[in-house]
Chains A and B, each alone.
Chain A
Amino acid sequence: MSKRKKKSPSRIKYETSHPTVSARIPIEIKEKIIANLKTLDMNMADAFKKLAGELEEKAKPIELVKKAAYKAGYKAAKNYYGVPYPCSKCEQTIVINTPEEKEAASKLMTEAGWGHETCPEPNLPQTIPAKPIPANLSRPNPNPPVVPTDKSNSNQDKISRFIKE
């Protein structure tokens, strides 16, 4: 019969101040928990401490933060400005990089007739669009019909002739 090893006083003190939190969980769930904790970059004790509101967020070293920010910015710029095309032989993706590639791409774009969306067509004459005429108005007639005015019959003339007489 083996004798149990005697615990040191510090160990006894530690165990009384740090009791165990225990649970029986299936192995599959334990594996899932470990996988989830890996994604959070934590261990089980840290997760419990965080849940209890005892864990403070560790500040990351500035160099790591700078590296991560640079990587994120580089990736975003590559996605925005990079022009990928497949290799004609092995079909692997190549990003336009060299001056020769840029020149070829520029030529192709020019030949295909790419340009500003807002620019007018180069060969068509520019026309000013006519303003629509409101329904209650009509265009003035350039040759209005001549209405004969009988001066002798107008009332004003009759009065003036009467006065003269």
Chain B
Amino acid sequence: MNDKEIFEKTSPWMLIRLSVRTRNKLLVKLDKRGLTLEEFLTAFANGKISNLDS
């Protein structure tokens, strides 16, 4: 098993379907915070972001 396969196994895809309008708003909000989706999710998991209200 190479590194790519290990990564794909330990870090599976997380898919969420959102409407185009919501997705665009979400991307704008994340951009305002200066975070990528992965960074936001990691920060939320570690309790660094508790207030989701923008």
Q: Which residues of A line the B interface, CB within 8 A?
A: 15, 17-27, 29-30, 32-33, 36, 40, 44-45, 47-54
Contacts and interface: CB of A to CB of B under 8 A. Distances in A.
Contacts of B47: 36
Q: How large is the interface on B (under 10, 10 to 19, 20 to 34, 35 or more residues)?
A: 20 to 34
Interface in B1-51: 7, 10-23, 25-26, 29-30, 37-38, 40-42, 44-47
A51 B32 CA distance: 12
Contacts of B42: 25, 29
A47 B52 contact: yes
Given A19-B17, A36-B45, A50-B52, 16 more contacts: A21-B17, A21-B23, A21-B37, A22-B14, A23-B38, A24-B13, A25-B45, A27-B10, A27-B11, A29-B42, A32-B45, A45-B16, A51-B30, A52-B23, A53-B25, A53-B54
Contacts of B53: 50, 53
Given A18-B19, A19-B18, A26 B26 contact: no
Contacts of A19: 17-18, 20, 23
Contacts of A52: 18, 22-23, 25-26, 29, 54
Given A18-B20, A24-B11, A29 B41 contact: yes
7 contacts: A25-B42, A27-B12, A29-B41, A30-B45, A51-B54, A52-B25, A54-B22
Given A21-B23, A52-B29, A44 B45 contact: no
A24 B41 CA distance: 10
